[in-house]
Structure 1
Amino acid sequence: MRRKLVVGNWKMNGSRAANAELLAGLNAAGPWTADVAVCAPFPYLGDVALSLQGGRIGWGAQDCSAHESGAFTGEVSAAMLAEFGCRFVIVGHSERRALHGESDQLVADKAKAALAHKLTPIVCVGETLAEREAGETDHVVKRQLSAVIHTLGHCVPQIVVAYEPVWAIGTGKTATPEQAQAVHALLRAQLHAATTKSDEMLILYGGSMKPDNAAQLLGQADIDGGLIGGASLKAADFAAICKAAG
């Protein structure tokens, strides 16, 4: 049995006061059998590390540079994240791909940079509404994951994959459990062709998972947890999803 993982993606939200209140609420919640983490904006990583250190909740960042160091103004390296005790880093989120023009190869290079510093990259893949309506879902997610598989080679089992249907992020829409499971199964098969450890790898669902739909989604055979956006900003909602995961 794969142990469930629930990760909160705060995106560009929060303040020191609001974060402290949220983390206090999470620290007081539980216990859960699932693994739990939050991915915070860069400026708050120090505060998050202090609040969560020694507890059962991990932390991470929402992006990292593909470069080790140098003249890359505004970028943050995986080495810097490791200094703050990060366990995870999200790479290839749909918002990064769409708003910052990140290519499949750049996402793969970021995952490689993260692994070099013992961070677990949460590699996001997913299709837009236009791509789904055109019947291109399978092609798009396989193309996105293929770049990562090709770049990482034997290190592929060290990543976490997150399927995030772009049309279900922040829209209130959610893929049905059956729709989500179909894509997760496809990704599992692709990983199976690349590594003998595919059955041990985690594939998270990242499309508007909430307390009222979490149990159904998490009950699917190949859905191993969630990458949670809006609901991760409310301690009660996020804790409810963590409870649904185990």
Structure 2
Amino acid sequence: MRRKLAAGNWKMNGTKASLAEVAALIAAHPDPKSEVLLCPPATLVAAMVATAAGRIAVGGQDCHMKAAGAHTGDIAAEMLADCGASHVILGHSERRADHGESSEMVCAKATAARAAGLVAVICVGETEAQRDAGETLALVGAQLAGSVPDGATAANTVIAYEPVWAIGTGRTPTLEQIAEVHDFLRAELVARFGAEGEGMRLLYGGSVKPSNATEIFATSNVDGALVGGASLKAADFGAILSALDAA
């Protein structure tokens, strides 16, 4: 049985004052059935770990593929682990688009994350033009194959499907479209990794909010969500967490 996962990506948002939302989330949901993960900016990782006090998991939003070196502005997976992080988001569409990250780079980063003891949350997803062209499954299949390293396990790898055209737009794919992609990803993971692929959690991300969370979490092979803006407020993310617990 795959444990549900509610993951929040704060992106480039938040200051120390924002940690009050973390405390409020923990107070409102002291014993959730689902696993809870928040990934703040790197400046807040250590402080959030202290605030969370082991009640929720904390992760980074990216890491470098090298363990150390002359890479100004980058953060190594070992550094995140040293701050108390347990997870790291890799291959998010904004990293792929804004920083030119290829699936090969994402795979190298996932390998580095594994070496540091971090769980890699590997993102895949298509643009609106790719969906309109009927390329969705081929595109996410190629991203999955290229981004997930050999030897990945259910314990060290989570996959997040985020249709690029739905991130932060308020648009959401139909439940049938979500199920089609998640069922496809599950089949691809099982074909490559066997029982480990069956155990890897598949998250949906793309304008998940309290109003649509329940129906999304009832969809085939959706094991949770990677939430953007709604994860910044305890009330919104808490409502999504409640829907996931009830799924």
Per the TM superposition, whether the score is higher than 0.5 is yes
Cα RMSD for the two superposed structures:
1.0
- Report the counterpart of residue 73 of structure 2 in structure 1: 74
Alignment partners' CA distance in 1, 2:85 and 2:92: 18
The one-letter code sitting in structure 1 at the alignment partner of 2:34 is A
Residue 172, structure 1, aligned to residue 159, structure 2: no
Measured against aligned partners, the alpha-carbon deviations of 1:164-208 in whole angstroms (never above 9, x if no partner) come to: 000000101011222111101100011011112222110000111
Partners in 1 of 2:166 and 2:152 — Cα distance? 30
Q: How many angstroms does 1:61 deviate by?
A: 0.6
**1:156 CA displacement:** 4.3
- Aligned pair count reads 242
Equivalences for 1:153-168 in 2 at 5 Å?
Answer: 153-157=150-154, 158-168=156-166
State the AA in 2 paired with 1:175: P
CA contact (8 A) 2:153 2:200 kept: no
Provide Cα deviations, 1:38-59, integer angstroms capped at 9, x if missing partner.
001001111101101232x110
SS of 1:38's equivalent in the other structure is strand
Name 1:8's counterpart in structure 2. 8
Contact 2:78 2:116 (C-alpha < 8 Å) held by counterparts: yes
Structure 1 length-normalised TM: 0.96
Question: Which segments of 5 or more consecutive residues in structure 2 lack a partner in the other structure?
Answer: none
Equivalent position amino acid for 1:194 in 2: R
Structure 2 partner of 1:188: 186
CA contact (8 A) 2:153 2:197 kept: no
Cα deviation code 1:210-245 (max 9, x no counterpart): 111111111112000000001001110100111111
Q: Distance in 2 between matches of 1:20 and 1:82?
A: 20
**Cα distance in 1 between the residues matched to 2:200 and 2:153:** 9
Residue matched to 1:101: 100
Secondary structure of the 1:155 match is: coil
Deviation, 1:155, is 2.3
How far, CA to CA, are the matches of 2:228 and 2:162 in structure 1? 11
Q: Where does structure 1 lack aligned partners over 5 or more consecutive residues?
A: none
Aligned residue for 1:143?
142
Aligned pairs for 1:33-112 (under 5 A) are 33-55=33-55, 57-112=56-111
Give me the identity figure in percent.
49
Alpha-carbon displacement from aligned partner over 1:33-91 (angstroms, at most 9, x marks no partner): 00001001001111101101232x11001000011100011100000000011111000
